[in-house]
Structure 1
Amino acid sequence: MNDSEELAPAVASILRSAEARGDPDGGPLSVDARSLPAALSRAEEDGCVPVIAEVKPTSPTTDGTREADPVELAEKMVEGGAAALSVLTEPDHFEGSPENLRRVREAVDVPVLRKDFLVRESQLDTVESDVVLLIARFVDDLAGLIGAAEDRGFQPLVEVHDAAELARAVDAGAEIVGVNNRDLAKLEVDLETFETVAPEVPDDVTLVAESGIGTPDDARRMVRAGADGLLVGSAIMDGDVTENTRRLTRA
C-alpha cells in the first residue's frame, strides 16, 4: 500500500529502500517464538509497566548515533525491567542489521521484536525473531502477510495510526496491535492518537502504545488509556539505559 506521496520525505525514503531491498537466500524460517502477550502480562502482574525497550542506533527523527554494542544495551534494558525488546534491522536509515537482532535474541530470554519495514512475504525470512512489525499502511495484502508470519511461528504486531487502519488490521486477523502516536505524514507526535484509537480495539487484542513516550507520566497515561505494553526507543537510549528503563517500568 504505497502512498508515499502522503508521507514525510524521510519515511517515503525508508519505504522505497524497503521495496528495493533484495530477498534473503534460503527457504521459509520456522520460529519457536517467545510469547509477547504473556511477557507483558507477567510484567503487569509483577507490578511493573510492561515496556518493550528498543535497541535503536539512530533514526531519521533523532540526532547522532549510539555506538554501544547492541547486546550490551539489550542486557542493560532487561536489567532495568524491560518485558521485551525491539531491535532495528532496517539498514539504510536506522543503521540496524539482522545480525544485531540475532545476537540480542541469543543473549536474552525475553521476546524480541524485529523492527523493520516489511512489504512482502519473502522479507520475513531474513532473521528469526519472536515478533515482527507489520505496518498496515505499507502492506497491500495484510491478511496474507499476517498469515505468512504466523505460519513461520512469528507473532505479528500490526501497527496502525487511526480507526480506519485499526479496522483493517482487526479484519485481517491481527491479535497484537500497536498504535503509533507519530503521524508518518508530518512526523508529529501526539499521545492523544492512542487515546482516540484505543477504545475501538477489541478486548481480546493485545494493545501496544508506540512513539512519544518519554516520561513516567507519559507511561502512566498510556496505561490508563488501555495500553498492554509500551514501545519506547529514544527515551531509553538517551543516557543511562538501565536507569531510563527502570524509570519507566517503575512508573
Structure 2
Amino acid sequence: MILDELVAATRKNLQERQAQVPLAVLQAQLATLPPRPHFTLNAQASDQPIKVIAEIKQASPSKGQIVDPATFDYQQIARDYTAAHVDMISVLTEEDYFKGSLAILSAVAQTTQLPILRKDFTIDPYMLYEAKVAGASAILLIVAILTDAQLKDFLALAHELDLAALVEAHDADEIQRAITAGATMIGVNNRNLKDFSVDFNNTQRLRASIPTDIAVISESGIQTRTDVAQLEAAGINAILVGETFMRATDKPAMIAKLRGQYPRG
C-alpha cells in the first residue's frame, strides 16, 4: 500500500531530523519567531467566493516528476501565488516521494506574508514544532494514519502553537472521526491514498456528513472552472489545488480562471 510506504519514509526521515535537532532546541526557538499570518475559514460564508489554497510541489507518487528540478523556482511560484491573491499556500515537505523539504517551506515563508500550510504526513508532535519554526501557519493531519488519541492530541498542540489544523478525510468513517476529534476544518480528499485513484465527486458526496459549522476544503482532482462551480454549488468553502497550478505556465491566469474571473476582451 502506497500510504504505508509514505508513512515509513516519513518516520525514517523524522528520526534523522530528530537526531540532528532535538525537540528542546525547536521549543527554544519558538520565542524568537517573527509573527506569521493566521489562517481561518468561515464555515458559514457560503455566499463568498470560494477560498483558494495553492500548492507548491515538484513531484508526487501518482504523477512522478511534475516539474523539472532545474526549473523548480518555488520562490517565484510563491510570488505568483501572492500576486494572484490566493488565500493560503500549501508546501509539500515530504522528501522521498514529493521531493519537498522544510527548507523550501522556510524559503517560501521568507518570500510571502500569506499563510502557509505544511503538507506532510504528520505522525509525531515534533513535526508540529518543525512546522511552526519553519514559518507555517497551518498543518495537515491525515485521519487515515492517526489514532483517535493522536488526532485529539495533535489538534490540542496545534491550538497551543497557534497553528490552524486541516484534518484530512476520505470516507464517511474518517469524517466522523475528524468531527469527534474536534476538527474545525475538514479537507475531503478526492484521492484515495491507498491506491491513489481519484473520484472528484467524493467531496460533494460527503458534504452532507459534515456539520455546517465546520469548514470544508476539497482536495485533489480539481482542474476546471466547471469543477469549482460544482463545489461552490455544494457549499464547499475552499479548494486545495496542486498539479493544475504547478503545470500552468501562467499561474495567476489559471487561478483567475478557476475562480471564474475571465479577462475582458
TM-score by length of 2: 0.84
Instruction: Name the counterpart of 2:119.
Output: 115
1:146-168 CA distance string (max 9 Å, x none): 11121111111100011111111
Tell me what 2:110 maps to.
Answer: 106
Unpaired runs of 5+ residues, structure 1, are 1-6
Shift of 1:108: 1.5
Q: Counterparts of 1:194 and 1:37 in 2: how far apart (Å)?
A: 20
> In structure 1, how many angstroms separate the alpha carbons of the residues matched to 2:212 and 2:43?
15
1:133 equivalent to 2:143? Answer no
State whether residues 131 and 154 of structure 1, in contact with CA within 8 Å, keep that contact through their aligned partners in structure 2.
Answer: yes
2:57, 2:100 within 8 Å by CA — same for their partners in 1?
A: yes
TM-superposed deviation, 1:33: 5.0
CA 1:135/1:68 → structure 2, altered by over 3 Å: closer, same or farther? same
Instruction: Return 122-131 or 28-37, whichever deviates more.
Output: 28-37
SS of equivalent to 1:164: helix
In structure 2, the CA distance between the partners of 1:206 and 1:101, relative to structure 1 (3 Å rule), is same
Q: Which residue of 1 aligns with 2:238?
A: 229
Structure 2 counterparts to residues 9-158 of structure 1, below 5 A: 9=2, 11-20=3-12, 21-22=14-15, 23=18, 24-25=21-22, 26-28=25-27, 29=30, 32-38=35-41, 45=48, 48-66=49-67, 67-128=71-132, 129-140=136-147, 141-158=150-167
CA contact (8 A) 1:39 1:83 kept: no
Aligned residues: CA RMSD: 2.3
Maintained 8 Å contact 1:181/1:190: yes
Asked if structure 2 preserves the Cα contact closer than 8 Å seen for 1:88 and 1:115, the reply is yes
Residue 42 of structure 1: how far off its partner (Å): 9.3
* Structure 1 pair 228–157 and aligned structure 2 pair: CA distance change class (3 A): same
Q: Percent identity?
A: 28
Is 1:193 aligned to 2:218, yes or no?
no
Letter in 2 for 1:132: I
Q: TM-score, normalised by structure 1?
A: 0.88
Could you say which structure has the larger radius of gyration?
2
Q: Aligned AA for 1:173?
A: G
Equivalent AA in structure 2 for residue 13 of structure 1: E
- Alpha-carbon offset, residue 44 of structure 1: 7.0
| Contact 1:75/1:108 (8 A) holds in 2 | yes
- Code of the aligned partner of 1:16: A
User: Where in structure 1 do 4 or more consecutive aligned residues deviate above 6 Å?
Assistant: 39-44
Tell me, yes or no, if the aligned pair for 1:39 and 1:84 is still in contact at 8 Å: no
- State how many pairs are aligned: 241
Unaligned runs of at least 5 residues, structure 2: none
- 58-67 or 139-148: bigger deviation: 58-67
Which whole-Å CA distance do the structure 1 matches of 2:42 and 2:201 have between them? 26
CA contact (8 A) 1:51 1:84 kept: yes
Candidates 177, 202, 206, aligned match of 2:215: 206
Equivalent of 2:255, from 230, 245, 248?
245
